[in-house]
Amino acid sequence: MRPDQLQQGQEQKKQGIDVAVLVSIGRHPTTGRARRAEQDARGLELALAMEAELPGTRISVLHAGPQNDDGEAALRGYLGMGLESMTLLEQPEGSDAILALVEHLAATSPQLVITGARAERGEGSGLLPYALAEHLGWPLVNSLASVEKVENGVVTLLQALPRGQRRRLKVRLPAIISVDEAAPAARQSAFGPARRATFSVTPTAPEADSELAQWHLAPARKRPKRLKIVKAASARDRFKAAASKAEGKGGQVLTDVTPEQGAEAIYKLLKEEEVLR
Amino acid sequence: MLETLLPILIFTALALAVIGAVRRIRLWRQGRPSRVNLLKGLVALPRRYLVDLHHVVGRDKMISNTHVATAGGFVAAAALMILVHGLGIANPLLGGLLLLASASMFVGSLFVARRRINPPARLSKGPWMRLPKSLMAFSIGVFLITLPTVGLLPDSLIEGSGSWLLALVLAGVVAWGLGEMFFGMAWGGPMKHAFAGALHLAFHRRAERFSTKKGGAGRSTGLKALNLEDEAAPLGVEKPADFTWNQLLGFDACVQCGRCEAVCPAFAAGQPLNPKKLIQDMVVGMAGGSDATYAGSPYPGKPVGEHAGTPHGPIVALEGKALVDADTLWSCTTCRACVEECPMMIEHVDAIVDMRRHLTLERGKTPNKGAEVLDNLIATDNPGGFDPGSRLNWAADLNLPLMSDLKQVDVLLWLGDGAFDMRNQRTLRALVKVLRAAEVDFAVLGTEERDSGDVARRLGDEATFQSLAKRNIATLSQYRFLQIVTCDPHSFHVLGNEYGELGGHYDVRHHSTFIAELYDAGRLTFSPWKGGSVTYHDPCYLGRYNGEYDAPRNVLKALGIEVKEMERSGFRSRCCGGGGGAPITDIPGERRIPDMRMNDVKESGAELVAVGCPQCTAMLEGVVDASAEVRDIAELVADALVERPTDGASGRSRRPAATTSAEEVTV
């Protein structure tokens, strides 16, 4: 490597970026106790790993919601992973977090926003990353496995696909990435740092979630699952069927179609599958 | 000539010793404050030394007698020498006593020397190898210079014109002896153990460990609580100076006899822990430097000389190496075998848990499954992450009386987390059968019960321990009961010895103790034992932690079983490897601790090993190709139960309603 290249390499290494990690209050699946949400914690772990790799990376942790003791204890679970503070966008109970987050993100303009794919309480629709991306006009990459490097405002990401496949993507910053179980597991939360960390509370304009208010919420019940019927002649076939995920069948690949044709095809499929009636 | 030389020598050595002592004391005072009644401690010192310490030392008669002769001789000789030769009080009576003392010391030093010929591996070498020679130099030197004082030798022999050479040689020998005994004592030589050891006994952090004139050998095994209210207080020990000053003093008292090393299950299993080396590393850290001068067995698999530390530097490095590696601290099963054997009353387990607390509470570095178990304890109140509502599922058919219904009973049956373990559920069912057969008025907390906090505390998570403990104490305070009975010695220990500091005081009994009491009261009748030979494995948390060695043996005796003792039983019982979160942190070694224990069982020739702890059952039953079956005492008792003659039953039964349900129970 020539000296000027080396110097350039070092400069790139030093190039840290501003990362905002969105965290929510989780819910333990067995006991329902508030905790750090599994996916959001993985998102924070990803950011902390970036900080170690890319010195100069600044992590800001963001939570939008009401301020109460139970929630604070759960949020401290994130802080115990080794953070000094967290920004709390204070909202009354039942507010829509999206607008508050959009406003804050637009004002602070981080280069990368990391969020869990789906919240463990509330609607848990998994739409928040998409809504943020729509409002901010930033690209979104879901199901992230790792962040490989950041170079000249372009981040190289590894996206997880089903059955262990990975796809390498280059995305121009700013961008939003969402993580699920494919991302590395979160580190242990330690009591001492969690206790010492501070919250900076920013009140936001109350923005009632009018749609949620109209919803009727009930505990989920287990739904019947369609069984996979395997007609296998040999043990090898049976094993293959058990070990592999079902391939999508009967689909069609549309190439070089106009957006209208594409939308029409999707609309037709949703009708067929009785998603839309 | 000697008459002028000796006082100079003696008082120089004494002055240097005082300077050294002040320096040493300043090393100890780097530690954090600890409330100790200094005067009371000093007053209690002779008794602690002569009774409690010699109770431990006396387990090895040879070395005990050696020490009495050598140390007793030295103390007397040193005091008399200062009078006779230092201050020149040439009283023939004092001189005669001095001769006697130095002679006794010489005889003792001969035995010390004998032990240093092919010494066992547990003894440290290095400077300790020269100690017998120094002892001899001192005793011979003092003996010879005293002979003229009592007139056994003409003064002229030393005072004569040609004998200055002899005088010089004698002075040299005495100087050597004084150097080791006075100077070395305060400047870190082998004799440091006498100086630091005496003060350690006086200012021990667990004064309640020692017996008093009122009788009763004290027992103090509960870990000390961290003050979590005070946010400025450090969470555990990060650096040597974070220990309390009397803990540092305790480390300095180590004589490197290696008794701890000889009994440590982790050391025997080839895991990277040696209690003696750990204590020496703490001494190195306190003074600053490297462990290169350590002359004993290393941590298995870790060469000596690669670790170094300072009083205010981290003990465990964030990256790389510092004073001690984390896996050393996580290898400990907290079995207390080292503490039980230590003749200097050093508290190894306290120190290890203190350092673990820092790793868990400040760094979040509990290894392997540790983090998962702690998260489960926080979220579900049990280490396995099971639904707390399913705690009583194993007893769905037993109609167990609940505390929430009865509010007041004689006996609260504490189930422990074994309630989620299918193996331990058999033990619990057996215990319920026994309690019903004896018509005990008992109830369980059911789903109100939580993990006692034992594992969380030993993994260093004091916050989760205190959270669990406080909630358990709040639950228990709603009900009235005379005593708690449990088949889990870990719960027994925590409820009985560690909840007190947090405000929960209970009369707790292990099920073996309770069954023994029931049998003595004539409430249980057994059919004679028909099985093969049986040995008994003492759980650490029942035996060493709580001193209960007799009750389980009495129960087995009542069953008609003659216990074939293992070589290591009673207070010397070898750990099963299941304590202190060791199965969770799972530090690799060369062997497995439970395999070694089942080998002990095999050597005893027993076909069955009786146990009294869910952890021991799980660990010992996990041994492949074991030669003996593993049964809990409750199971043996339940199998041997026979119905009592009815006349006795109706007389004692306080709750006739329970009798009917007792008959329905089949295990």
Give residue-wise pLDDT tens across range A54-67: 888 999 999 998 88
Q: Quick one: tokens of A226?
A: 């369609």
pLDDT at A189: 96
Whole-number mean pLDDT of chain A? 87
Touching check for A29 and chain B: CB below 8 Å?
no
B46-83 pLDDT, tens digit each: 999 998 898 899 999 999 999 999 999 999 999 999 89
pLDDT at B536: 97
**Contact by Cβ (8 Å): B99, B143:** yes
Residue B343: pLDDT band with limits 50, 70, 90: very high
Nearest-CA neighbor of B263 among B60, B96, B447?
B60
pLDDT at A8 over 90: no
Residue B652: pLDDT band with limits 50, 70, 90: very low
Touching check for B461 and chain A: CB below 8 Å?
yes
Q: Quick one: tokens of A173?
A: 């910053």
Touching check for B370 and chain A: CB below 8 Å?
yes
DSSP annotation string for A61-101? EEEEE---HHHHHHHHHHHTTT-SEEEEEE--TTB-HHHHH
Dihedral sign from CA coordinates of B509, B512, B514, B516: negative
pLDDT at A9: 45
CA angle B497, B500, B506 (to 5 degrees): 75
Establish, for the pair of chains A and B, how many residue pairs have beta carbons separated by less than 8 Å. Answer: 47
Query: What is the arithmetic mean of pLDDT over B566-580?
Result: 94
Q: Cis peptide before B552, with omega less than 30 degrees from 0?
A: no
Touching check for A170 and chain B: CB below 8 Å?
no
pLDDT at B593 over 70: yes
Contact B362 A190 (CB under 8 A): yes
pLDDT at B531 over 50: yes
**Of residues A30, A187, A192, nearest to B362 (C-beta):** A192
B18-56 pLDDT, tens digit each: 999 999 999 999 999 999 999 999 999 999 999 889 889
* C-alpha to C-alpha distance for B290 and B303, rounded to whole angstroms: 12
Higher-confidence residue of B217 and B391: namely: B391
Q: Are strands A175-179 and A144-151 parallel, antiparallel or unpaired?
A: unpaired
Touching check for B363 and chain A: CB below 8 Å?
yes
Contact A82 B364 (CB under 8 A): yes
Q: How far is CA B173 from its chain centroid?
A: 40
* C-alpha to C-alpha distance for A228 and B420, rounded to whole angstroms: 33
B274-309 pLDDT, tens digit each: 999 999 999 999 999 999 999 999 999 999 999 999
CA atoms within 13 A on the CB side of B250: 28
* C-alpha to C-alpha distance for B230 and B239, rounded to whole angstroms: 19
Q: Which residue of B has its CA nearest to A189?
A: B364
User: Which DSSP letter does residue B563 get?
Assistant: B
CA atoms within 13 A on the CB side of B189: 21
pLDDT at A6: 43
% chain B with pLDDT above 70: 94
Which chain B positions have a beta carbon within 8 Å of A33's beta carbon?
A: 379
CA atoms within 13 A on the CB side of B627: 16
Which chain A positions have a beta carbon within 8 Å of B380's beta carbon?
A: 28, 30-31
Residue B663: pLDDT band with limits 50, 70, 90: very low
* C-alpha to C-alpha distance for B284 and B310, rounded to whole angstroms: 8
Dihedral sign from CA coordinates of B569, B570, B572, B574: positive
pLDDT at B612: 96
Which chain A positions have a beta carbon within 8 Å of B227's beta carbon?
A: none
End-to-end alpha-carbon separation of chain B, Å?
90
Residue A217: pLDDT band with limits 50, 70, 90: confident
Q: Which residue of A has its CA nearest to B389?
A: A31
Touching check for B369 and chain A: CB below 8 Å?
no
Which chain A positions have a beta carbon within 8 Å of B360's beta carbon?
A: 188, 190-191
Higher-confidence residue of A128 and A220: namely: A128
Note the residue count of chain B.
667
pLDDT at B649 over 50: no
Least confident among B112-116, B146-150, B221-225, B601-605:
B146-150
Touching check for A35 and chain B: CB below 8 Å?
yes
Contact A187 B364 (CB under 8 A): yes
* C-alpha to C-alpha distance for B245 and B33, rounded to whole angstroms: 6
Residue B500, classed as helix, strand or coil, is: helix
pLDDT at A70: 83
pLDDT at B1: 66
pLDDT at A248: 61
In SS3 terms, A180-205 reads as CCCCCCCCCCCHHHHHHCEEEEEECC
**Contact by Cβ (8 Å): B460, B332:** no
* C-alpha to C-alpha distance for B548 and B553, rounded to whole angstroms: 10
Residues paired with A21 in a beta bridge: A61, A114
pLDDT at B92: 83
Most confident of A206-210, A211-215, B189-193, B635-639: B635-639
% chain A with pLDDT above 90: 55
Higher-confidence residue of B182 and A78: namely: A78
Query: What is the arithmetic mean of pLDDT over A246-273?
Result: 83
B503-519 pLDDT, tens digit each: 999 999 999 999 999 99
**Contact by Cβ (8 Å): B292, B303:** no
pLDDT at B151 over 80: no
Q: Are strands B508-510 and B608-611 parallel, antiparallel or unpaired?
A: unpaired
On the 0-12 / 13-18 / 19+ scale of CB atoms within 10 A, B8 is exposed
Reported pTM: 0.90
* C-alpha to C-alpha distance for B56 and A23, rounded to whole angstroms: 57
pLDDT at A33: 93
Residue whose pair of structure tokens reads 């009122």 in the numeric block: B214
pLDDT at A121: 86
**Of residues A31, A188, A195, nearest to B380 (C-beta):** A31
Q: How far is CA A169 from its chain centroid?
A: 16
Query: What is the arithmetic mean of pLDDT over B173-201?
Result: 90
Task: Give chain A's largest Cα–Cα span.
Answer: 66
Residue whose pair of structure tokens reads 């309603």 in the numeric block: B657
Query: What is the arithmetic mean of pLDDT over B334-358?
Result: 96
Contact A190 B361 (CB under 8 A): yes
Q: Which residue of B has its CA nearest to A30?
A: B387
Whole-number mean pLDDT of chain B? 91
**Of residues B371, B379, B387, nearest to A188 (C-beta):** B371
The neighbour count for residue A250, using CB atoms within 10 Å, is 4
Which chain B positions have a beta carbon within 8 Å of A198's beta carbon?
A: none
A120-168 pLDDT, tens digit each: 988 888 999 999 999 999 999 999 999 998 888 899 999 999 878 899 9
User: Strand runs (DSSP E) across B380-476, as ranges?
Assistant: 408-414, 442-444
Nearest-CA neighbor of B344 among B261, B208, B253, B281?
B253
pLDDT at B479 over 90: yes
The C-alpha R_g of chain B, in whole angstroms, comes to 29
Contact B387 A31 (CB under 8 A): yes
Q: Quick one: tokens of A108?
A: 């602070």
pLDDT at A254 over 90: no
**Contact by Cβ (8 Å): B573, B544:** yes
pLDDT at A66: 87
pLDDT at B407: 94
pLDDT at B3: 76
Query: What is the arithmetic mean of pLDDT over A242-256?
Result: 73
Closest-CA distance of chain A to residue B307, Å: 26
pLDDT at B325: 95
Amino acid residing at B445: L
Closest-CA distance of chain A to residue B356, Å: 12
* C-alpha to C-alpha distance for A215 and A124, rounded to whole angstroms: 13
Partner B, chain A 64-93, Cβ-Cβ below 8 Å: 80-82
pLDDT at B154: 65
Touching check for A238 and chain B: CB below 8 Å?
no
Note the residue count of chain A.
277
Residue B655: pLDDT band with limits 50, 70, 90: very low
**Contact by Cβ (8 Å): A94, A212:** yes
pLDDT at A250: 67
B210-258 pLDDT, tens digit each: 988 776 667 899 999 999 998 888 999 999 999 999 999 999 999 999 9
CA atoms within 13 A on the CB side of B38: 4
Contact A193 B364 (CB under 8 A): yes
Dihedral sign from CA coordinates of B260, B265, B266, B269: positive
